[in-house]
Amino acid sequence: GAGVSQSPSNKVTEKGKDVELRCDPISGHTALYWYRQSLGQGLEFLIYFQGNSAPDKSGLPSDRFSAERTGGSVSTLTIQRTQQEDSAVYLCASSSRSRGEAFFGQGTRLTVV
Partner 1 sequence: DQQVKQNSPSLSVQEGRISILNCDYTNSMFDYFLWYKKYPAEGPTFLISISSIKDKNEDGRFTVFLNKSAKHLSLHIVPSQPGDSAVYFCAASARGDFGNEKLTFGTGTRLTIIP
Q: How far is the CB of 105 from partner 1 (least distance, A)?
A: 5
Instruction: Tell me the C-alpha distance between 78 and 67, whole Å.
Output: 6
Q: Which of residues 83-112 bind partner 1 (CB under 8 A)?
A: 91, 93, 95-107
CA R_g for the chain? 13
Q: Which is nearer to partner 1, 14 or 98 (CB)?
A: 98
Angle at 76 between CA 72 and CA 95, to 5 degrees: 45
Instruction: Look up residue 87 and give its DSSP letter.
Output: -
Q: Does 43 bind partner 1 (CB under 8 A)?
A: yes
Q: Does 79 bind partner 1 (CB under 8 A)?
A: no
Q: Which is nearer to partner 1, 52 or 84 (CB)?
A: 52
Out of 13, 30, 73, 80, point to the residue binding partner 1 (CB under 8 A). 30
Instruction: Look up residue 97 and give its DSSP letter.
Output: S
